[in-house]
Structure 1
Amino acid sequence: MPETTFRYQLPKKAIKTDCPNCGPKHRRTLSRYVDTQTGEPLPDQYGRCDRESNCGYHLNPYQKGPSGLSYADEVKARYTSKPIPRAWFSSAAKQKHKGVSKQSIIANLIHTESATLEQAERVAAFLFDQPEARPGGNGLPIEQSPVFTIPEDVFNQSLGHYHLNQFAFLLRRHFGVPVADTLLKRFAIGTSGRWPGACVFWYIDELERIRGGQIKLFDDTFHTVKYVVKDGERRSRTSWVHSAYARRCDALNQPYPAWLAAYLDERNDVQKSPCLFGLPQLLTAPADQPVAIVEAPKTAVISTPYFPGFIWLAVGALSYLNAERLAPLRGRKIELFPDLSKDGSAFDRWNRVAGDLLAQGFQITVSTYLEDNATQEEKDAGLDLADFLLDQWIEYSPEWDS
């Protein structure tokens, strides 16, 4: 078969990176494979080392792995297979957490869920075949920090109660009940008792672990409620689930549950939102559906019915955009929608980060939609995409099959 018929090839002008087998003494000796259909390089490990006689490392994307599938086979399966139920990933993740092996999880899915072998292997590969940590200075793998999460019962108790939720009320008023309720379910929006009407934006990672919950209270215009403290400082009605839980325990003079004590322990490396908001959507979305990233969870939710071609995610803050948070998106096309700013600094910052991410193999672009269409007054106000959409379309009308 002629070489040109292969989708994944080593290009004539090599794209270089460090060989995983050579070590730090020999830099940028690995020529990476590229996807001839997109022009994008494959993940770092797929390539051929230039030091053929001394190293000999060569990982071909058509080479079969332990699962019996090659990289090419897995990509083809993602594009041709039917969506896998989200519940399969959830149950498999719980089994893995309990120490169940990869092969046992595959067997369980086949026997209990009537999954095909291909489907079961895809679920297991998603959970087990994550990139290994890079070695530390002594050549040994960097030890992974323990993951601290919020229990499912705390998460489940927040779901629903939307007659007490201002954000749910605003969504229903703007989009209508059917579309709004689909959004509330899609993004697992919770209700909080921290302030009357407050909602919870849950940060759930790609393994469906509940990493944090941001509490927000919105006013009648979808903006965060502000209040003034004694010294005249303006603060927003924003908090976190773990903080609100601790506050309630203190008020009732009750001890902290074990999960909360660990979450609040300063000796533990706990981040409130270490992952993207909206990641569980990836479990059932088509592999070729592009991702759009905004700063705030509110913006991701509101933008979804306006632009349903994207999977809408939020990074949480302007400075949170980095390769670590975007790791679950490798292989997908990503478009960034930075907030407006008076001097364009927000756009410039994300544009610089996008350049760095592009060099690391991400398929990423930065949208100029807001910069091209917003007025100077809107830029001065620092509107985000949700603010802009709500201002432009007072009454929602796009067709969105929820």
Structure 2
Amino acid sequence: MTATSFRYHLPKKAIKSDCPDCGPKHRKTLSRYIDSLTGEPLPDIYGRCDRESNCGYHLNPYHKGPSGLSYHDEMKNRERQEPIPKDWFRTAARQKHNGETKQRIITNLIRLQHATPEQAERVANFLFDGPVASSSGPTPPAGPTPVFTIPDELLKQSLGHYERNQFAILLRRHFGTNVADDLLKRFNIGTSGRWPGACVFWYIDEQNRIRGGQIKLFDEFFHTVKYVIRNGEKRSRTSWVHSAYARRLDQQQTPYPAWLTAYLDEQNDVQKSPCLFGLPQLATAPIDKPVAIVEAPKTAVISTPYFPDFIWMAVGALSYLNADRMAPLRGRRIELFPDLSKDRSAFDRWNRIAGELLGHGFQITVSTYLEDNATQDEKAAGLDLADFLLEQWEGYPPDWEE
């Protein structure tokens, strides 16, 4: 078998970058592996150093790591799990009808639809090897649960209006306008009309699909506003974009659009935040920049200017930390910052899950900073990293009832 018959190989015309082991003294000594189906280089840890006698660095994408899987294995597994849009089958069917070859259809899907090679091959195999397509186009085979999303227009409409967004006002007051506006743009923070002053934390996945939007109303100290219902129970001013939108349409006696009907259908098992908050940052972040994970979106936003060496993201809730949500972070160094708890249960839970993720090939550690520095009262109150950072803000009162 020749070298070029492998999907990943070192091309004759080398693509160069810095070797991880040589350091800054020897620049551009690493020959990168490329994906033969796309022509794109692999992450810059996969390559062979030209200084074979002095360095000898060589990481092959077929080499199995501590998890027992190679880069090749992980890409295959990830591509098999990604859903395939129905439009790709219809487009490919038209191309087949017009006489395009199987390989040409695969190439078109990769180039024009940004499909992964595995996805493109699955579409082409279904068309050429599966049942005959109907006149309306083929029905894709059973696969992952369809993804239900919120239209881009709603996100775009929410961006801006920061003069009436309490979270934006607080960021500008605490960090200054330039830093605050960078954070608002970086995290796609929106403004909601659900309550005067409310903001929206948009959950956007690695494919830039809008999976959910959490609405929050904060008081003047970054605490979620609480209210008391008739039986004396405290509730927070927290909602979701799809719920608020449905509520407004109900008040206007207006029919739901198709996307909202599908999103609200319990049979579709739609989750409000099935991905990490802050994923769009990966599009421009260096591959060697580590990721820090916290529970709340607010904490991820506030921590970013304090610790810019991390890419800050949030899972949304203590129980949401799992391999599915963390999948886009494979290949990156990850550090978890669990909230405090009276009995250390939050830390122990994330520490246990981190051990499981290590077994699946994730590079992950758990920070003990809060556990090592918090008082018993702070632990009992369940404070998080943002609370510790904001204590430095003059006039910021601790309110451990949140």
TM-score normalised over the length of structure 2? 0.68
Which residue is equivalent to 2:333? Answer: 333
Shift of the 76–175 alpha-carbon distance from structure 1 to 2, 3 Å rule, reads farther
Work out the CA distance in 2 between the residues paired with 1:142 and 1:293. 34
Shift of the 323–106 alpha-carbon distance from structure 1 to 2, 3 Å rule, reads closer
Q: Does 1:392 find its partner at 2:392?
A: yes
Which residue is equivalent to 1:233? Answer: 233
Which residue is equivalent to 1:214? Answer: 214
Which residue is equivalent to 2:324? Answer: 324
Contact 2:293 2:337 in 1 (8 A): yes
Contact 1:205 1:211 in 2 (8 A): yes
Which residue is equivalent to 1:346? Answer: 346
Q: Does 1:296 find its partner at 2:296?
A: yes
User: Alignment partner of 2:235: what SS?
Assistant: strand
List structure 1 runs of 4+ shifted beyond 2 angstroms: 61-77, 95-108, 127-130, 392-396
Which residue is equivalent to 1:197? Answer: 197
User: Alignment partner of 1:255: what SS?
Assistant: coil
Which residue is equivalent to 1:164? Answer: 164
Which residue is equivalent to 1:375? Answer: 375
What's the RMSD between the two structures over aligned residues?
3.2
Q: Does 1:66 find its partner at 2:37?
A: yes
Q: Does 1:103 find its partner at 2:74?
A: no
How does 1:127-276 map onto structure 2 within 5 Å?
Answer: 143-276=143-276
Deviation at 1:392, TM superposition (A): 3.3
Shift of the 174–72 alpha-carbon distance from structure 1 to 2, 3 Å rule, reads closer
User: Alignment partner of 2:335: what SS?
Assistant: strand
Work out the CA distance in 2 between the residues paired with 1:72 and 1:306. 28
User: Alignment partner of 1:312: what SS?
Assistant: strand
Contact 1:295 1:317 in 2 (8 A): yes
Deviation at 1:103, TM superposition (A): 3.4
Q: Point out the more displaced range, 332-341 or 387-396.
A: 387-396
Where does structure 1 lack aligned partners over 5 or more consecutive residues? 1-36, 39-60, 78-94, 109-122, 134-140, 397-402
Contact 1:354 1:364 in 2 (8 A): yes
User: Alignment partner of 2:391: what SS?
Assistant: helix
Amino acid at match of 1:103: T
Deviation at 1:263, TM superposition (A): 0.5
How does 1:88-99 map onto structure 2 within 5 Å?
Answer: 99=88
How many residues are treated as equivalent by the alignment? Answer: 301
Amino acid at match of 1:67: T
1:132-152 Cα distance to aligned partner (Å, 9 max, x none): 99xxxxxxx972111100001
Q: Kindly, what percent of the aligned residue pairs are identical?
A: 72
1:104-127 Cα distance to aligned partner (Å, 9 max, x none): 47756xxxxxxxxxxxxxx947x5
Deviation at 1:378, TM superposition (A): 1.5
Q: Point out the more displaced range, 248-257 or 98-107.
A: 98-107
Contact 1:214 1:241 in 2 (8 A): yes
Where does structure 2 lack aligned partners over 5 or more consecutive residues? 1-19, 22-31, 49-83, 92-104, 123-140, 397-402
Contact 2:110 2:117 in 1 (8 A): no
Contact 2:149 2:259 in 1 (8 A): yes
TM-score normalised over the length of structure 1? 0.68
Contact 1:354 1:366 in 2 (8 A): yes
1:21-57 Cα distance to aligned partner (Å, 9 max, x none): xxxxxxxxxxxxxxxx79xxxxxxxxxxxxxxxxxxx
1:171-203 Cα distance to aligned partner (Å, 9 max, x none): 011001110000000000000000000000000
Deviation at 1:390, TM superposition (A): 0.4
Contact 1:102 1:124 in 2 (8 A): no
Work out the CA distance in 2 between the residues paired with 1:72 and 1:237. 42
User: Alignment partner of 2:355: what SS?
Assistant: helix
User: Alignment partner of 1:212: what SS?
Assistant: strand
Deviation at 1:97, TM superposition (A): 7.9
1:256-300 Cα distance to aligned partner (Å, 9 max, x none): 111101101111121100000000000110010000000000000
User: Alignment partner of 1:227: what SS?
Assistant: strand
Shift of the 253–64 alpha-carbon distance from structure 1 to 2, 3 Å rule, reads closer
Shift of the 165–381 alpha-carbon distance from structure 1 to 2, 3 Å rule, reads same
